[in-house]
Amino acid sequence: MGGKRRIGRRVGAAAVAGVLLATAAAPAVAAGVSERTGTQRGDAWRGTLVAAERVFGLPDGRAAAAELTAHGFDAGATRYGVEAWRLVYRTVDEFGQPTTASGLLALPSRAAGHRLPVVSYAHGTEVHRDAAPSVHRGFATAPVVAYASAGYATVAPDYLGLGLGAGPHPWMDVPSETTASLDLLRAAGEFAPREGRQLRREVLVTGFSQGASAALGLGRALQAGADDWFRLGALAPVSGAYDFVASQLPAVLDGRVAPEWAVAYTAYLLVAYDRLHELYASPAEVFRAPYAETVPELFSGDHPGQEVMAGLPATLAELLTEEGHALLAAPSGELAQALAELDSVCRDWRPRVPVVLWQAGGDEQAVNENTAACLAALRAGGARPGVRDLGPVEHDGSRHIGSHVAAVPEIIRWFDRLG
């Protein structure tokens, strides 16, 4: 219990270099030196490359377009073929200790040029480590292909505990999402010259659902100068739960979030946050039998999504004890502090770059009040963000997923206009 991270301790703030387990041989990088600038950084081991493996290639724009349309994405912006690599890199875990993580880097074909604009894309919620972008080619990698085939060097972190990272995954933990995203950018900056490419300084940051909060966390860090090379260029988060306490949790409890997703997200939140913040002494305090015995293992990272959903009840009333329901209805203690940290992604900072928030009307998973609250918070801080409502778009019967599919080509066009 004593090893859990307390609120206010930012991941990596006091991390020190250590011996890390490498998955493959990699060139040595001098401790304390940033290869991109030659300047000294006390944590310069973070983001150094451990291993790189080519995972797939699309020889030309036609092949990339076929990949996108096969998964329901618009291919109108496709111009180039794509080469994709899984990068394993050094980072810090959710407790600030040295570890490794994995992520995907996709580069457009050489016709796109030598010096490439950069997109960082943060994916939505996954429960199985093998569903992460660097491991599972399919719907999860389609956005990466879309951005890369439009001419952008694109990175997609798996996050801690997913892909080849040690688990379990600390779901909706913005500090560790931020460090995993930032350190993947650094690893990509080290790797790209091996392919004869260079990454521009300005990073166009986007993400969907869970990744929307992760994108805002990365954007805030980049603007604050967390890296000595990369800088924030623009922000385009999609359908995030930015206002968990005042918007998302009430919708989970009153039925506006579809019941199956209310149950899944509630279980994931309680299990993941207990690992970090000591919410309860025993799962039986918040979960009814038999779920108190089974739910923590379901979210170990070793079970596919369908298996997780099959192992959960149909309603929150079947999942939660009275104490568990009360904790969500009026968060207190460690949970209140943890959710305040999560809800801070839109508050008390002023992005100095173009920002557009994207949503679909009637989102059944991340209710639209989240976007309205984020918009208001950013404006209160002095920013001038825009908002784009994509309408009642659907994909496989979900407006939430539909917003993701519809937003990607729109965001590409927006990034293109920004130059």
pLDDT digits (tens, 9 = 90+) for 168-213: 999 999 999 999 999 999 999 999 999 999 999 999 999 999 999 9
Which CATH number goes with the domain that contains 242? 3.40.50.1820
Residue 177 is predicted with a pLDDT of 98
Distance CA 204, CA 154 (A): 9
pLDDT above 90 (res 2): no
Q: What is the pTM of this model?
A: 0.91
H or E segment to which residue 205 belongs: strand 198-208
How many Cβ atoms from other residues are within 10 Å of residue 9's Cβ? 12
Residue 392 is predicted with a pLDDT of 92
pLDDT above 60 (res 41): no
Q: Which residues contact 332 (CB under 8 A, 6 or more apart)?
A: none
Burial of 294 (0-12, 13-18, 19+ CB in 10 A): middle
pLDDT category at 4 given cuts 50, 70, 90 is low
pLDDT above 90 (res 30): no
The answer to whether 198 touches 188, Cβ cutoff 8 Å, is no
Strand partners, 101: 89
The count of structural domains within the chain is 1
Distance CA 132, CA 174 (A): 17
pLDDT above 60 (res 371): yes
pLDDT category at 12 given cuts 50, 70, 90 is very low
Query: Across all residues in the chain, what is the average pLDDT?
Result: 91
Residue-wise pLDDT for 387-402, tens only, equals 999 999 999 999 999 9
DSSP string, 50-109: EEEEEEEEE-SHHHHHHHHHHTT---TT--S-EEEEEEEEEEE-TTS-EEEEEEEEEEE-
pLDDT category at 42 given cuts 50, 70, 90 is low
Residue-wise pLDDT for 47-85, tens only, equals 999 999 999 999 999 999 999 999 999 999 999 999 999
pLDDT above 60 (res 32): no
| Tokens standing for residue 109 | 């074909």
Distance CA 395, CA 362 (A): 13
Identify the CA nearest to 256 among candidates 368, 120, 130, 378. Answer: 368
- Percent of the chain topping pLDDT 90: 89
Domain, as residue range, for 396: 1-419
Q: At what angle do helices 210-223 and 174-191 cross, to 10 degrees?
A: 70
pLDDT category at 14 given cuts 50, 70, 90 is very low
What type of residue sits at position 186?
Answer: R
Residue-wise pLDDT for 249-264, tens only, equals 999 999 999 999 999 9
pLDDT category at 11 given cuts 50, 70, 90 is very low
Residue-wise pLDDT for 275-331, tens only, equals 999 999 999 999 999 999 999 999 999 999 999 999 999 999 999 999 999 999 999
Residue 5 is predicted with a pLDDT of 52
